[in-house]
């Protein structure tokens, strides 16, 4: 219902479900406490996703419309039920069970108590005992910032389909990533409560100067650009991240035939609350238009992997010429480029072990050359990984990092659900030699990599067809 245009109809059901689950979690005995926490976190994620869906329904050509009286009443009813659930559960060891969801609902209503609820649930984060984060073992320079060559991507916070966790567990994992040298995080205005929960964490972290936040301003619908609308969006990013100035704001524009995106970028560049400006899923032709207008761009976020090497065709040369760094996602094809899938049969598209991102990247694998050729690639990567004492994922990441125009690879992080920060560290400190590159190239020559560029188009075209 949330994803099919019936999000407001889903709110009474969500309210009832939240109340039932909260009551059950209080009554659950110690033997099923973990099950209770998992279910509560899942409902919490559903609440966040519902508020994200509502935000999308409010988008209009002039920016964002206001809630109707009926819509606001529906959200207020949900907020009241959640508040009661929090009070009922306050006597147990799981205070404020729906901290993320309650915060998102309160934010939708413009209530000031929303962020405070999230701050209360920061769990084991004892800031006085947190040491200075260690320096990243591999860095690149962008503007005046020296950044790690792996960013932690927070897309997975946009939906409970990747698993859900409490705010305290998410905060604990933020802290671990930072202590491991992974101090840069990528998020967006439509990644659920990613900005809010990260901003809340960062505001309480004692070494804020060591953390870098990249977020996005995304325009998917047709829009008439105005300075007021752009400024309001930037203000919302600052509010959610609890920052007076954004480290990096990446801009996505869906409809290239409307060149007002150039006006939007001018407004962004001129706003003193924006540190650096990047693009997201822009192709080379439209990057050229931006540069020709004298607009300073620091980065472009695009898909880039062994299976999707389109940046090699045109974009890489352009980026080198204009000192623009690529921030790449999909580098591990949603986890397919890993030891887990070596010698495994072709997955069912809707199998229980397939994530939403893997459904997306599986189609790319099919276009690239199919599952049999993909297994040949994994075998070669496995041999290289064994030689360097790393994993297949490390080799796939290293292959992308070795391109001079790549600043960083964005690795999706299921915060509070699973942790791969130690594994990611192994991608640093070594390079693929000529023999490694030749072995990989032998497989890539059998693929349809050039045809993918010709048929799908340059980077980002897959989202605009």
**What pLDDT sits at residue 2?**
84
8 Å CB contact between 98 and 78: no
**Once rounded to an integer, what is the mean pLDDT over residues 385-395?**
97
List strand residue ranges (DSSP E) for 354-460, in order: 406-412
**Residue with structure tokens 């301003």?**
217
Q: Give the SS3 label for residue 165.
A: coil
Which H/E stretch holds residue 350?
Answer: none
pLDDT per residue as tens digits for the range 422-435: 788 899 999 999 99
**What pLDDT sits at residue 193?**
78
pLDDT, the chain, mean? 85
**What pLDDT sits at residue 5?**
84
Q: Is the pLDDT of residue 326 over 90?
A: yes
**Once rounded to an integer, what is the mean pLDDT over residues 189-201?**
84
More confidently predicted of 459 and 192? 459
pLDDT per residue as tens digits for the range 34-55: 677 777 777 888 888 888 888 8
Rounded distance, CA 381 to CA 383, Å?
5
Give the CATH fold of the 127-463 domain: TIM Barrel (3.20.20)
- % of residues, the chain, pLDDT over 70: 86
Q: How far is CA 303 from the centre of its chain?
A: 13
pLDDT per residue as tens digits for the range 77-93: 999 888 876 654 444 44
pLDDT per residue as tens digits for the range 226-242: 999 999 999 989 988 99
pLDDT per residue as tens digits for the range 351-361: 666 777 788 89
**What pLDDT sits at residue 122?**
41
Beta bridge partners of residue 104, listed in sequence order: none
Of the pLDDT bands very low, low, confident and very high (cuts 50, 70, 90), residue 166 is low
Rounded distance, CA 281 to CA 365, Å?
20
**Once rounded to an integer, what is the mean pLDDT over residues 27-37?**
62
**What pLDDT sits at residue 181?**
87
**What pLDDT sits at residue 185?**
95
Instruction: List the alpha helices (DSSP H) in 164-322.
Output: 167-179, 194-204, 227-241, 261-270, 284-292, 315-322
**What pLDDT sits at residue 26?**
66
Rounded distance, CA 212 to CA 426, Å?
21
Q: Which long-range contacts (CB under 8 A, 24 or more apart) does 225-233 make?
A: 225/260, 225/261, 225/263, 225/264, 225/267, 226/62, 226/63, 227/267, 228/63, 229/62, 229/63, 230/264, 230/267, 230/268, 230/271, 231/267, 231/271, 232/63, 232/64, 233/63, 233/189
**What pLDDT sits at residue 94?**
45
Domains of the chain: which residue ranges? Answer: 2-120, 127-463
pLDDT per residue as tens digits for the range 96-139: 578 778 888 888 888 854 333 343 344 444 455 677 777 878 99
């Amino acid at each position: 219902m949330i994803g099919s245009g019936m999000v407001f109809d889903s709110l009474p059901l969500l309210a009832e479900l939240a109340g039932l689950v909260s009551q059950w979690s209080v009554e659950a005995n110690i033997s099923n406490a973990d099950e209770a926490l998992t279910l509560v976190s899942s409902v919490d994620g559903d609440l966040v996703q519902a508020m994200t869906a509502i935000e999308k329904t409010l988008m209009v050509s002039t920016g964002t419309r206001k809630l109707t009286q009926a819509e606001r009443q529906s959200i207020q009813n949900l907020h009241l039920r959640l508040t009661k659930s929090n009070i009922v559960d306050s006597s147990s060891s799981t205070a404020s069970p729906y901290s993320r969801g309650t915060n998102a609902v309160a934010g939708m209503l413009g209530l000031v108590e929303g962020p405070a609820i999230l701050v209360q649930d920061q769990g084991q984060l004892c800031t006085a005992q947190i040491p200075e984060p260690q320096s990243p073992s591999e860095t690149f320079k962008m503007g005046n910032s020296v950044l790690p060559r792996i960013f932690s991507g927070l897309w997975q916070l946009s939906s409970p389909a990747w698993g859900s966790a409490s705010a305290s567990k998410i905060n604990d994992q933020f802290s671990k990533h930072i202590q491991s040298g992974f101090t840069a995080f990528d998020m967006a205005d439509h990644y659920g409560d990613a900005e809010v929960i990260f901003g809340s964490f960062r505001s309480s972290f004692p070494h804020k100067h060591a953390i870098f936040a990249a977020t996005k301003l995304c325009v998917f619908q047709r829009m008439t650009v105005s300075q007021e609308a752009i400024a309001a969006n930037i203000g919302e990013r600052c509010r959610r991240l609890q920052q007076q100035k954004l480290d990096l704001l990446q801009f996505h524009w869906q409809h290239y035939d409307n060149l007002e995106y150039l006006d939007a970028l001018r407004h962004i560049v001129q706003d003193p609350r924006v540190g650096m400006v990047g693009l997201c899923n822009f192709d080379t032709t439209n990057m050229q238009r931006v540069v020709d207008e004298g607009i300073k761009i620091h980065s472009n976020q695009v898909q880039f992997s062994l299976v999707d090497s389109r940046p090699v065709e045109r974009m890489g040369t352009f980026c080198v010429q204009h000192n623009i760094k690529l921030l790449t996602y999909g580098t591990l094809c949603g986890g397919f480029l890993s030891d887990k899938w070596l010698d495994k049969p072709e997955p069912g598209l809707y199998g229980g072990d397939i994530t939403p991102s893997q459904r997306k990247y599986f189609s790319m694998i099919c276009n690239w050359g199919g599952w049999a050729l993909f297994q040949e690639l994994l075998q070669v990567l496995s041999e290289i990984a064994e030689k360097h004492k790393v994993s297949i994922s490390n080799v796939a990441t290293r292959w992308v990092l070795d391109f001079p125009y790549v600043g960083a690879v964005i690795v999706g992080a299921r915060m509070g659900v699973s942790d791969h920060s130690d594994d990611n560290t192994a991608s640093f400190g070594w390079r693929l030699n000529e023999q490694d590159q030749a072995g990989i190239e032998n497989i890539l020559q059998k693929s349809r990599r050039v045809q993918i560029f010709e048929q799908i188009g340059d980077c980002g075209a897959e989202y605009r067809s």
